[in-house]
Every structure is written in structure tokens, then in C-alpha cells.
């Protein structure tokens, strides 16, 4: 059980989760200061710790030393500000004043709302904390309110471009986090690009400020909004790790700061530098959650805790096992018609596919990426009777029907753009940059959001659509909103765009409870906790090469569970890389997540189709464990040597091991894979060979992999737990 307690005497709050503690207090000036984030401590211990946290200025150049829950601009603070405002009279500094707090309990957990205000100006800042009874993840967010009455003329009367009484919010982060003193901190994060997402990196925390960010309007392929910091000595199963992840699907910023005195803090939230928000009297601005986690069990424990959190508190249908889908994109490209899709559907059903998804090319004048986006009606030449006959045939074959859509985009060569050229992001007197021959619709506009929901709602209802692949294939440019420039609110689009996107998806799902959605943005360009609270799975990368996918999937699962990671088996040679990889290896790579198929099935040899059918059938036997069980990264991706992952079912009765060796080493057999978290007293039987192993030996010396010789060797081993003689006797 998690708890939140308050000590009035020391003005200290202690958040206790099952395996960690977090504490904060108010200093003499009412600033909310950080005290502890780490191993469990009692309130008495926390109050002893508070006596050491005195803000002593060592000299007139050092500035404030005690870390705060939300670093503000004002006073002798010279670090990264998580809250920057400019009041109507031009004043920028903020001075804290405590108002009150509220602790509320529910069946799920406990919340703390700590309400503060500025000492002079009508600004209220509420720091929100939430802990769940079954998790060590702490959710934090901030609510900013203009406490003046609408129409309050509290400005100075100077024509400075700011309305009297309005407060300009220059920066508002969701939370600041502070770490205890350690010698050598490292920061883990992911970098990437299109078709090369979630490449895991770990490096020493640099002195000064290190900023991870997206200024692209989406989460981005180049970085993902999370970091994991350790004391320099953590590995997969040991060591202290502090990590934090932002639940936001637009632009964002996380900054890690290391002072010359070796203090490490981080602050993060939505938006990027250079944009602002005009807060009028009576208005409120709420940030997304910036969740944090502490563990002393190494990177593996951190990952599994995040997975459990996503499965328990983020996903809309967390315990629903995802079906095997087939997607037509790599088979057909834009060459889509009813006859061809029927053939693919029949072939997909024959090999055991459960969900058939028709990708791009079914609507408007969409024969290439040059035209048609925005005109969301079936192409009458390709689908003379609409989509109904194809949907009916897919359902008759025993599969659900899914459809690719890209609601946020428009081609200039489209009826929609010709009718509404003002609906896209743009500035007056500036060109409109096309990427992939398309422009971004301004979802911050209420009329655009209403239009998008309207046609999606009609499409899903008319054709009984079971599944949408929601794509978004370019980033923002010329992110202007001329109609709001006059009132100084054009920058709202960076936040309102995402809010309206969320609102459309939320409303669509509420109106169609059986609809399931896959999130995609040219692959993994929009994967984050905010999007995962609205979709059932995501597409991690357009790169379907099985060798490259091992690295992408390893970085992806550092935070996100296999349950949301769609992974396709596609053609060989791969259409993106040209790499030829055996079908067995491709299938085993896809089995590490939500296995799917995306190849040109009508061109496959019969023996390959039969082999694929067998792999799909075997995956269905283990997918409960892969999608919902605990994931252990036994060894990370490497060009030579073995990459291996382990999944253990929720009841610990089944253990699945997947291993890959992309490049064989002449004269050297791969060693056994040391498994993790098995019962040392139990025995485990290989479901295929019948061999039995002692749990203690599997964790100490490892599981023999018996990989085939040569390049691109892989294996799948399923172990069933059987009781030892001692356990059997005790049970009897």
C-alpha cells in the first residue's frame, strides 16, 4: 500500500510506495524543497534529514543550493527554471507563499495537491502528486491558475503588448526531480531517426546542462521523453536507478543539470523554448504528468516496473491480448483495390491471421503520396461499392477489419485543401514547406478538430471498422495560426493541437467501445505515455528489417512493454535495407512483441507460407506470456554473440526465451543464456525437447541454446515449471 503523510511541525510531506520513499518540505520562505527520493524512510528519519538541507550561500556567486520541487525564476536561482512567468507590469520573478494542501485517498492510491501562490500577483500554482498502491511510479503535474477576475485591470497601463491583467507563461514544466549525492552519474536515453528509433545510449552526466528535446510538434524519432539516471555502477539486475517519463505527445523538453558541487537535478515538461502561453484572468493551465521511478534493482527492475505501470494504469485495455494482424502496405504500396485486397485477405486468413489491415491508397485520388490526403472517401474506381464488400469478406473469413488513416494531414492536391487552405499550419507572408508532399492540418482549430472527428465517426460506423492504424507522416513547420496572432494566442497551437488530438481519439473510442487503435507516426515518431493512454499498440519503426529491429526493440522495451510493440514479419530481401534474412530469424524477432505480418504473401512460396503458419501458431501459444509477463533482457543487441530476452508468465508457470545470433563465429559455440528470477527449488521442462533443468542451474550456469550454425541463427525455447520432489511432497 502507498501512503502520503504530513508533519505539520516540520511542514514535511512523505510519499511512501511499496519499495521507495519521496519527501519534500517547505522552507522558511515557503519554497517547496526536495528532501529525499530513494529507499524507504520513516517520517522521523526524513525530519532528521531535513536538518541537513539548509540553504547556505557559500559565497555571493553560488546562488541557491537546495533543490526545489519546481525551480522558478526569481531570487538567487541560476539553474534551469521549470516555471517562468512575466506579469502584466513586466515583473518576471516569482515568490512562493503557501496556501494549503489536500491529501485524498481512493481505492487505487493517494493524491497530494499542494497549493501555492505568488506573494503579490494573482497567480496560484498547485503541485500535484499521485501514487498508486501497486506501483513505485510517482505521477507529478502542475496546475497554474490566474486568480484575478475576468476583466480585472491589474496591469500598469503601459502599452507593452501584454493585455492588462494577463500573465505570460514563458515556461511551465510538470515537475523537477533531484537526486542524492553520488560520485559518477550516468544518464540513459534513446536517440534515433526515421527507421532507426530508440537507440539506447548511456553516458556520464556532463557538468552543466544537458537538454533532451523535441521541437517538432510530435514526440519525435530523434529522442523519446524519458531518462534513466544511475550512480555509474548499475547493470541489468543491480544498482540504484532513477528514471522519469513524460506523458505528452507534442514538443517537449527535459533538462538534466549537474552542478560543480556534483548535485544532479532534472526538470521537464511540454513545449519547447521560445513559445509562450497567455494566461488571462480566471484561466487555468494544466501540465501533463511527468512520472518518476526509483529502484535499487538495476535497469531491468526499472523497465519491468514501468511495464507494470503501463499495463495497470496507462493502457485503455491493458489485459487484452493483441491479435496477430496482417498489414497490406509492404505488399501493395499505393496499388490498392478490392480484388487485390481480397486475395491478400484470403492468404492471411489461411495462415492464421486474426486482423486484416488495409493500408494507404484506398481513398480519394490516392495513387501516390502526391495527392488525396484529406479526401476520406473510398476511391470509386478501386472500390465501386465502397468498402462494405471487402469488410464483409474479411469478417466472413473470420478476421477483424482494420484501416489506415492519417487524419492530421492534407495534400495541397486535394479537394479539402482547395476548399480550406487556411486550415493548415502557416504564417502569413511565408512559404508553406511541404514534407512528403503534405501539410499539417491545424488541429488546434475547433472547426478542424470537429471535421476530423466527424468523418472518422462516420467511417467507423458505416463500415463496421474494428481497428484503425492512425498515422502521422511529417513534423511541424511554419507552425503559425494567423487568426490568433492578433490576440497574442498563436502559440497555443503547440498545446491545443495535442489536446484536441487526444479529445478526438477519446471521443471516438467512447462512441465506439469495440474500436481498437494503433498509434503510428512514420514508425516511432509519437510513442509516449500520453499516446499509450489512448491507443492499444504502437508501431515502433517503419524499418521491418529483423536485424535492425533487435536494437530498436531493445531500446523501446526499456520503458514500454512488449504488449504495445507491433512487430512485422516481412519479405526477404527486406524492402528497406535489402538484407536477406531467414524466415525463422524474422519470425523470432517479431515474436518478441505483438507479432504481425506485412509481406507480399501472394508471392511467397508455399513452403514459406506453411513455415510462417507454424510460427504464428506457436506464437499464439506463448503470446500471453510475451505480452503480459515480465520481460528480462538477458543480453543486449550485438553484431556478434547472442542477443537474448526472457519472458515469465504472470503465474510463473511458463518461461519463454528468444535468442538471436546475427553473425556466427567460426569455431565458437554460443554459450548458455543465464536466466533470471526462476525458482531455484523448481524444475523446468523444455516443452519441445522434453529436457528438464534445475532452476538453480538455469540462473547460475544458464540454459543451453543449441543455436544452428551460421549467420542469422535464432531459437525459441519454452520452459514449463514443474514441481521439485520436495515441493511435490510438501503439496501432498
Band of the pLDDT at 272, cuts 50, 70, 90? very high
Secondary structure class of 311 (helix, strand, coil): helix
For residues 463-481, give the mean pLDDT. Answer: 98
Active-site residue, 156 included:
no
For residues 95-115, give the mean pLDDT. Answer: 97
What's residue 729's pLDDT? Answer: 56
Domains in the chain with CATH codes: 3-313 (2.70.98.60), 325-627 (3.20.20.70), 643-731 (2.60.40.1180)
Summarised one tens digit per residue, pLDDT across range 488-499 is: 889 999 999 999
pLDDT exceeds 60 at position 135: yes
Pair type for strands 32-38 and 20-26: antiparallel
Summarised one tens digit per residue, pLDDT across range 45-84 is: 999 998 876 666 668 888 788 899 999 999 889 999 999 9
Summarised one tens digit per residue, pLDDT across range 364-378 is: 999 999 999 999 999
- Radius of gyration for the alpha carbons in the chain, expressed in angstroms and rounded: 27
Non-local (6+) Cβ contacts of 450 within 8 A are: none
DSSP secondary structure string, 373-439?
TT--SB-TTT-TT-SHHHHHHHHHTT-EEEEEE-TTEE-SBSHHHHH-GGGBS--TTS----BTTBE
For residues 339-351, give the mean pLDDT. Answer: 98
Summarised one tens digit per residue, pLDDT across range 613-627 is: 999 999 999 999 999
What's residue 60's pLDDT? Answer: 84
pLDDT exceeds 90 at position 417: yes
What's residue 156's pLDDT? Answer: 42
Q: Which of 136, 542, 545, 548 is catalytic?
A: 542
Summarised one tens digit per residue, pLDDT across range 450-460 is: 999 999 999 99
Percent of the chain clearing pLDDT 70 (strictly above): 96
**How far apart are the C-alpha atoms of 605 and 612, rounded to whole Å?**
11
Q: What is the pTM of this model?
A: 0.96
Give strand pairing partners of 675.
Answer: none
Give strand pairing partners of 595.
Answer: 567
* Torsion angles phi and psi, residue 168, rounded to 5: -90, 120
Q: Provide the mean pLDDT of the chain.
A: 95
Band of the pLDDT at 157, cuts 50, 70, 90? very low
Secondary structure class of 713 (helix, strand, coil): strand
For residues 26-40, give the mean pLDDT. Answer: 97
Active-site residue, 542 included:
yes
Q: Are 557 and 197 in contact (CB under 8 A)?
A: no
pLDDT exceeds 80 at position 155: no
Taking phi over 0 as left and psi of -120 to 50 as alpha, with beta for the rest, 449 belongs to alpha
What's residue 158's pLDDT? Answer: 40
pLDDT exceeds 80 at position 301: yes
**How far apart are the C-alpha atoms of 670 and 664, rounded to whole Å?**
9
Band of the pLDDT at 160, cuts 50, 70, 90? very low
Secondary structure class of 379 (helix, strand, coil): coil
What's residue 152's pLDDT? Answer: 47
Summarised one tens digit per residue, pLDDT across range 169-205 is: 999 999 999 999 998 999 999 999 999 999 999 999 9
Band of the pLDDT at 640, cuts 50, 70, 90? confident
Q: Which of 308, 360, 471, 548 is catalytic?
A: 471
The H or E element spanning position 15 is strand 12-17
Amino acid at each position: 500500500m502507498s501512503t502520503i503523510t504530513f508533519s505539520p511541525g516540520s511542514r514535511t510531506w512523505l510519499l511512501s510506495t511499496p519499495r521507495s520513499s519521496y519527501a519534500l518540505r517547505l522552507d522558511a520562505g515557503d519554497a517547496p524543497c526536495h528532501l529525499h527520493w530513494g529507499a524507504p524512510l520513516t517520517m522521523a528519519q526524513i525530519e532528521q534529514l531535513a536538518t541537513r538541507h539548509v540553504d547556505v550561500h557559500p559565497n555571493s556567486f553560488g546562488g541557491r543550493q537546495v533543490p526545489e520541487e519546481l525551480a522558478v525564476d526569481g531570487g538567487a536561482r541560476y539553474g534551469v527554471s521549470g516555471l517562468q512567468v512575466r506579469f502584466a507590469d513586466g515583473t518576471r520573478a516569482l515568490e512562493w507563499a503557501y496556501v494549503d494542501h489536500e491529501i485524498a485517498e481512493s481505492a487505487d492510491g493517494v493524491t497530494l495537491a499542494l497549493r501555492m501562490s505568488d506573494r503579490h500577483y494573482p497567480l496560484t500554482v498547485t503541485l500535484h502528486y499521485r501514487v498508486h498502491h501497486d506501483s513505485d511510479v510517482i505521477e507529478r503535474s502542475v496546475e497554474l491558475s490566474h486568480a484575478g477576475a475576468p476583466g480585472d485591470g491589474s496591469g500598469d497601463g503601459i502599452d507593452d503588448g501584454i493585455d492588462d491583467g494577463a500573465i505570460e507563461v514563458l515556461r511551465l514544466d510538470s515537475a523537477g526531480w533531484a537526486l542524492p549525492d553520488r560520485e559518477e552519474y550516468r544518464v540513459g536515453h534513446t536517440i534515433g531517426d526515421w527507421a532507426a528509433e530508440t537507440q539506447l545510449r548511456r553516458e556520464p552526466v556532463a557538468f552543466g546542462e544537458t537538454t533532451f528535446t523535441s521541437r517538432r510538434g510530435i514526440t519525435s524519432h530523434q529522442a523519446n521523453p524519458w531518462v534513466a539516471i544511475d550512480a555509474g555502477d548499475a547493470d541489468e539486475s543491480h544498482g540504484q536507478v532513477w528514471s522519469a517519463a513524460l506523458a505528452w505527445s507534442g514538443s517537449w523538453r527535459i533538462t538534466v543539470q549537474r552542478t560543480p558541487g556534483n548535485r544532479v537535478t532534472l526538470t521537464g515538461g511540454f513545449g519547447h523554448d521560445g513559445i509562450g502561453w497567455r494566461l488571462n484572468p480566471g484561466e487555468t493551465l494544466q501540465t501533463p504528468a511527468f512520472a518518476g521511478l526509483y529502484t535499487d534493482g538495476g535497469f531491468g527492475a526499472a523497465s519491468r516496473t514501468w511495464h507494470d505501470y503501463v499495463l495497470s494504469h496507462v493502457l485503455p485495455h491493458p489485459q487484452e491480448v493483441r491479435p496477430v494482424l496482417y498489414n497490406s502496405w509492404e505488399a501493395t504500396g499505393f496499388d490498392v483495390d478490392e480484388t487485390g485486397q481480397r486475395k491478400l485477405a484470403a492468404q492471411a486468413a489461411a495462415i492464421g491471421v486474426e486482423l486484416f489491415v488495409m493500408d494507404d491508397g484506398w481513398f480519394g485520388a490516392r495513387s501516390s503520396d502526391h495527392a488525396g490526403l484529406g479526401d476520406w472517401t473510398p476511391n470509386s474506381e478501386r472500390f465501386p461499392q465502397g468498402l462494405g464488400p471487402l469488410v464483409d469478406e474479411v469478417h466472413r473469413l473470420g478476421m477483424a477489419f482494420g484501416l489506415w488513416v492519417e487524419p492530421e494531414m492534407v495534400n495541397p492536391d486535394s479537394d479539402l485543401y482547395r476548399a480550406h487552405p487556411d486550415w493548415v499550419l502557416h504564417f502569413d507572408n511565408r512559404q508553406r514547406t511541404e514534407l512528403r508532399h503534405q501539410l499539417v492540418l491545424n488541429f488546434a482549430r475547433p472547426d478542424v478538430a470537429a471535421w476530423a472527428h466527424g468523418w472518422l465517426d462516420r467511417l467507423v460506423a458505416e463500415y463496421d471498422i474494428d481497428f484503425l492504424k492512425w498515422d502521422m507522416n511529417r513534423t511541424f513547420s511554419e507552425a503559425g495560426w494567423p487568426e490568433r496572432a492578433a490576440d497574442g494566442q498563436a502559440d497555443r497551437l503547440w498545446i491545443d493541437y495535442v489536446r484536441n488530438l487526444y479529445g478526438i481519439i477519446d471521443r471516438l473510442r467512447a462512441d465506439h467501445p469495440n474500436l481498437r487503435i494503433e498509434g503510428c507516426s512514420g514508425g516511432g515518431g509519437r510513442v509516449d505515455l500520453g499516446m499509450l493512454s489512448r491507443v492499444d499498440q504502437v508501431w515502433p519503426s517503419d524499418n521491418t528489417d529483423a536485424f535492425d529491429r533487435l536494437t530498436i526493440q531493445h531500446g523501446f522495451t526499456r520503458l514500454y512493454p512488449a504488449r504495445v510493440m507491433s512487430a512485422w514479419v516481412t519479405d526477404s530481401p527486406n524492402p528497406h535495407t535489402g538484407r536477406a534474412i531467414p524466415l525463422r530469424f524474422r519470425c523470432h524477432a517479431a515474436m518478441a512483441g505483438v507479432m504481425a505480418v506485412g509481406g507480399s504473401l501472394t508471392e511467397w512460396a508455399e513452403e514459406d507460407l506453411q513455415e510462417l503458419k507454424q510460427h504464428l501458431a506457436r506464437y499464439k501459444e506463448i503470446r500471453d506470456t510475451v505480452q503480459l509477463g515480465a520481460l528480462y533482457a538477458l543480453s543486449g543487441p550485438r553484431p556478434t554473440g547472442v542477443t537474448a530476452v526472457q519472458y515469465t508468465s504472470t503465474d510463473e508457470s511458463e518461461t519463454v526465451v528468444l535468442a538471436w545470433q546475427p553473425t556466427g563465429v567460426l569455431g565458437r559455440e554460443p554459450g548458455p543464456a543465464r536466466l533470471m528470477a526462476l525458482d531455484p527449488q523448481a524444475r523446468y521442462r523444455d516443452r519441445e525437447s522434453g529436457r528438464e533443468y534445475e532452476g538453480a542451474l538455469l540462473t547460475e550456469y544458464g540454459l543451453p541454446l543449441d543455436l544452428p550454425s551460421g549467420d542469422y541463427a535464432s531459437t525459441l525455447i519454452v520452459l514449463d515449471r514443474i514441481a521439485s520432489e520436495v515441493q511435490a511432497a510438501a503439496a501432498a
